[in-house]
Amino acid sequence: MTIIGVFDSGVGGLSVLQHIRRSLPDARLIYLADSAHVPYGDKSAHYIEQRAITLTRFLIEQGADAIVIACNTATAAAATSLRQHFSCPVIGMEPAVKPAVLATKSGVVGVLATIGTLESARFAALLERYAGDVDIVTQGCPGLVEQVEAGDLHGIRTRDLIERYTAPLLSRGADTLILGCTHYPFLASLIRDIVGTGVTIVDTGEAVARQLQRRLLDEVGLKSDLQLDICRSGFSPATNDELFYTSGDETQASDIMSTLWGSVVNALQLP
């Protein structure tokens, strides 16, 4: 059985895990939420890199054939280092600048992300490569990760933050918004309610699942019965093989993971 290790600063990476489960229904998934250290956005690149190495080593010890960094900030800080330290495929996240540039009609794209992602060299390289004549307007979003970690997906505080962060982007004429943090897809319905139906919202989870499957086929020899099925309707995580870890409080993690994952999760303590 192919084993996929996935980690994030907290529970946001579950949005990516859902896409991976849909695309690889027979794989075993091990998810690690580093909730004792969330958010990564206000940490130094060196700190995040060391956490990423520690978490990746643990996942490989559990038998992971491939690693997914389900965090834009951790990808920017640690993807290169992880690929140097470990021989297995390492799949990272990055804000979906290219598809957003292709989608915009107004010529203005807004990016909602953590400060760590927006200030990274990796993000700067994305803009240089794909932005072209499109105006990319960025917005750091302090506090949004914490709202998702608390399970507050529709509350007044969360709505206030989203209104505050999207207003400058909309005022600049953005008709496309990039969700540049894996926590943010869990707020997509509230973001849609605030910005309206005329704004395209871009999430990169599906693209990451596709890239993961391609790398597995190329490097690990993925069995034919795990072929990509990203368009399969329905999502029933309770019927599949997943294992969840947290570096934070197990009870709190189990509660919020169960809500976001859509079935009962019993998170284990990271040793």
Active site residue 141: no
Residue 92 to residue 221: CA distance in whole angstroms: 20
| 170 CA to centre of own chain | 24
Q: Which helix (H) or strand (E) holds 93?
A: none
From the list 88, 141, 181, 231, the catalytic residue is: 181
Comparing CA positions, the residue from 172, 190, 40, 203 lying closest to residue 115 is 40
Residue 11 to residue 8: CA distance in whole angstroms: 7
From the list 71, 88, 141, 231, the catalytic residue is: 71
**Total length of the chain:** 271
In degrees, rounded to 5, the angle at the alpha carbon of residue 96 between the alpha carbons of residues 178 and 154 is 35
144-147 CB contacts, 8 Å cutoff, 24+ apart: 144/112, 144/181, 144/183, 144/184, 144/187, 145/9, 145/10, 145/12, 145/38, 145/39, 145/41, 145/114, 145/181, 145/183, 146/38, 146/39, 147/187
Strand partners, 240: none
- What residues contact residue 156 under an 8 Å CB cut-off, 6+ apart? none
Contact 16, 68 (CB under 8 A): yes
Catalytic residue annotation: 71, 181
